Amino acid sequence: MHTLATAPAAGRSWADLDDFQAFIDAGGMVEPGDDMPPEYRDEVFRFIEFHANSELMGGLTERDWIPHAPGLRLKQVFLAKTQDEIGHAHLLYMVAADMSVKTRTEMLEDLFAGRSRFHNVFHYQAVTWADQIAIAYLVDAAAFASQRAVFAECTYGPYKRVLKRIVAEEGFHMRHGEEMLLRLATGTGTQRAMFQEALNRWWWPAVQLFGPDSDPDDPLLRWKIKSQRNEDLRAAYVQKYVPLLHGYGFEIPDPELRQDDDGRWHAGPIDWEPLKATMRMGGPDSKRRIETAAQNWADTAWVRDALDRQGVGT
């Protein structure tokens, strides 16, 4: 075991991964111009690209609901949320592009051709306004928890810096979801029934957002990009949201949900097939979502062309 805990001198490379691990374990941070093992570059790039794609696909969904949001105040909220999510995507694509694995255009072209992945929850369709509330309440909270867990450590400097802003804004989204749910939960019987139906559709996708149990030797944990295992984040989420939803009088669509002697809630067995289907772009709404996003990219080509002609670049 090596004990080297400082970055290699300028112009030199990491001798081996043990040296790099010792650097990370000693609190080392990696910046774009630094030497980094190819394995670290690839894993971190893939993770940030996935995050960026998810922000963009999520933002496009929020945009779709602006015309349907009831009342000016909620339209303003959804407009702001859309701007936040698209802004998150922009920041993350810039950070990812600086890793020199793919350009931003290549990442977007891969996304719109269905060649690169994004979060499972954005492969489903929001059918009613109550679905949007379930998304704001359950999905934004799940995204907030997983992003905060990355921000807690995150050895890749630029990613940590943009996450500070992203996590702060996701916190507002989560609070907004809580406010909207409170209004629906204290509303009419029809409103409560609408939310229960939305909860039935969105509970499992939200729980699955954290992914299956982390590999015992997940390199993203070893290199301190992630700070918590997927199963621990998922368990904490279930423990927090089951009592809250019960408190509002809603039922969790999990017949095998149980509470142990210490009062902790545990989800029943999880069928991971729906998550795997989304990763193959075979989710219930994957095709339409990707086609819509690709169409949006094609429709806005004239903006990029105009900027290129002005020498501004995109």
Binding region for Fe ion (CB under 5 A) = 55, 85, 88, 140, 170, 173
CB of 254 to Fe ion, least distance (A): 24
Q: How far is CA 288 from the centre of its chain?
A: 20
Q: How far is the CB of 88 from Fe ion (least distance, A)?
A: 4
Q: Who's near 125: CB < 8 A, 6+ residues apart?
A: 284, 285, 288
Closer residue to Fe ion, CB minimum distance, 37 or 211: 211
Nearer to Fe ion, 19 or 55 (CB): 55
Look-up of token digits 């698209």: 86
Provide the minimum distance between the beta carbon of 162 and Fe ion in the complex, in angstroms, as a whole number. Answer: 11
> Which of residues 14 and 129 has its CB atom nearest to Fe ion in the complex?
129
Query: What is the nearest approach in angstroms of Fe ion to the Cβ of residue 70?
Result: 20
Asked whether 122 and 54 are in contact (CB, 8 A), the reply is yes
Could you tell me the smallest distance in angstroms from the CB atom of residue 182 to Fe ion? Answer: 18
Closer Cβ to Fe ion, 58 or 283, answer by number: 58
C-beta of 137 vs 223, nearer to Fe ion: 137
Nearest to 162 by CA among 83, 81, 92, 58: 92
Query: What is the CB-side half-sphere exposure of residue 235 using CA atoms within 13 A?
Result: 11
Contact predicate 195/133, CB 8 Å = yes
**What residues does 265 pair with on adjacent strands?**
259
Smallest separation, CB 191 to Fe ion (Å)? 23
Q: How many secondary structure helices (H) and strands (E) does the chain include?
A: 13, 2
Where is 150: in which H helix or E strand? Answer: helix 140-151
Cβ closest to Fe ion, residue 177 vs residue 283 = 177
